[in-house]
Amino acid sequence: MSVDTVTLTLPRKPGYLPLLHLVLGGIALRKDLSFDDLDDVQLAVDSLLAEDTGTSGDIEVKVSLKEDGLLIRIGVLSDSVLRESLRGEGPASQPDRRHLDICMLLRGLCEDFTVVELDGDTYAVELWKKAG
C-alpha cells in the first residue's frame, strides 16, 4: 500500500500558521476527518510549536495519509525540557507545569505521540490522529 505524504516547510513566525492550518484542513478533508478532529490536530500542532522556545528557523511539517488516519511529524524542535517531558523523563523534583500540560493536551487530542531524535540536540514529534 502506498502512503501519500505532504511536506511543508515554512518560517517559524506566527503569520505562517494560517497557511499551515489551510494545508492541514485540505489533507483532513481527503481523509474525511470531522471538523472536531481537524480542530484537535490544529490545536495539537499549534500548542507543540508554542512550547518549543529553543528553536529558530524553519518548521517542517510532514503529513502522511495512512489507511486509518494521519501521521503528522513536526520538527525541527530543540527545547530540551519539552523533550524530556514528552518522553516522560522530566525531573520529578522540579516538574515544569507548562510542559506537563502540553503532554496532557496531546494525549487528549491525539491517539498517540512520539519523540523522534534528529541530528545534534534536535528532535521532531510525531502525532497520530485516527480518522473517524
Number of domain units in the chain:
1
* Ramachandran class of 101: left when φ > 0, alpha when ψ lies in -120 to 50, beta otherwise: alpha
Flag whether pLDDT at 1 surpasses 60.
no
Q: What is the pLDDT of residues 49-72, one digit of tens each?
A: 988 886 678 999 999 988 888 999
The boundaries of the domain holding residue 88 are 4-130
The pLDDT assigned to 55 comes to 67
* Over residues 9-14, mean pLDDT: 88
Q: What is the mean pLDDT of the chain?
A: 85
pLDDT of the residue at 93:
44
Question: Residue 100: which CATH number?
Answer: 3.30.565.10
Is 90 exceeded by the pLDDT of residue 103?
A: no
Q: With 70 as the cut, is the pLDDT of residue 92 above it?
A: no
Amino acid at 8: L
What the block records as the C-alpha cell of 82 is 519539552
Pairwise CA distance, residues 107 & 53, whole Å: 21
